[in-house]
Amino acid sequence: MKALIIVLLVIGFAGCKQTYCPSFPPSLLDYFPYSKGEKLRFENQNNDTLVLFVNNYWATDSYSFSWNCKCSCGADAGFETKMDSIYLIEVSGSLDISNDTKVSIISCTISDEKTSSDDFYYRIDGVDPFLEENYKLFGDTILFKKDEFYRYNNVLVIRTKGIVQFWDKNHNCNWVKID
């Protein structure tokens, strides 16, 4: 009986392997090129100004784990803003990628204090996002669109600039990023 337990333990430990997962690819950070504490300023056609402060920004570092399986590595990066005190709008965005499943998702959410929270996402399948040649995985420009009954719509993301504009139905305006 002891011999059987020892054999099973040896087989179990011999089957464990170390899986190394890379950090989030720096080139994909260009879709939301923000930093914590950064001020994002938008203006509408009435010269009103919306100011959002990035209060959270993250990107997965490399990691490893021991497991007796062929496990998938995933990574994510993203940001969140504090709610604007005048228009009560907040914005967040994220990128979620996996090398094994070859699924990549870019998403953003625009919400207000009480009633609306509109989610936008774009998914790409079949491409390994960790390969350097895929640094423009989502292209240079992404336009997120929804039906006209949503509060927020037409969110435009430009690689290296981030979110550059979005439509706000309640205020009947297009918020455009200013420097």
Q: Where are the domains of the chain?
A: 2-178
Model confidence at 6, in pLDDT bands (50, 70, 90)? very low
The bridge status of strand 17-21 relative to strand 141-144 is unpaired
Give the C-alpha separation, 55 to 19, whole Å: 32
User: Helix (H, G, I), strand (E, B), or coil: what is residue 108?
Assistant: strand
The pLDDT of 76-96, averaged and rounded, is: 95
Place of tokens 């496990």: 71
Mean pLDDT of all residues in the chain? 87
